[in-house]
């Protein structure tokens, strides 16, 4: 669980950094574009990410997109970088739908072999 929370934080911070840079350069980033760049260019550079659920980074970028959406509508503050040890978590739907199911799938594969 802690690995997934750290992975979510890492992806959120990476996405926020890229979003800020793109916005300064005059582009209009969104969560879908971030996910595409991450999947095709960044994720292959970090082999440790292969062991973790892909849903975690997808939800991190969705949450970042929603945070910016609220910010631009005037409903919230500008998204900030997340720090380790402060609200270390990731969405419960992410846990319920992916990590738990991944564990069940791996357990079944282990029992069959």
pLDDT one-digit tens code per residue, 32-48: 999 999 999 998 999 98
CA distance linking residue 88 with residue 9, whole number of Å: 8
Q: What angle do CA 18, 91, 85 make, to 5 degrees?
A: 75
For residue 51, give both structure tokens. Answer: 């062991």
pLDDT confidence of residue 80: 92
Confidence band of 18 (pLDDT split at 50, 70, 90):
very high
CA distance linking residue 2 with residue 20, whole number of Å: 27
Assess contact for 88 and 9: CB atoms under 8 A.
yes
pLDDT one-digit tens code per residue, 53-67: 888 889 999 999 999
Write down the domain spans for the chain.
2-112
pLDDT one-digit tens code per residue, 69-81: 999 999 999 999 9
CA distance linking residue 108 with residue 113, whole number of Å: 9
Confidence band of 19 (pLDDT split at 50, 70, 90):
very high
């Amino acid at each position: 669980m802690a690995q997934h929370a750290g992975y979510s934080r890492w992806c959120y911070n990476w996405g926020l950094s890229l979003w800020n840079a793109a916005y300064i350069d005059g582009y209009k980033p969104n969560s879908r574009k971030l996910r595409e760049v991450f999947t095709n260019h960044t994720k292959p550079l970090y082999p440790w990410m292969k062991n973790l659920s892909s849903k975690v980074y997808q939800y991190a970028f969705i949450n970042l997109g929603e945070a910016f959406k609220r910010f631009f509508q005037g409903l919230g503050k500008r998204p900030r970088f997340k720090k380790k040890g402060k609200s270390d978590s990731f969405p419960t739907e992410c846990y319920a739908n992916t990590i738990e199911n991944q564990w069940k799938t791996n357990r079944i594969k282990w029992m069959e072999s």
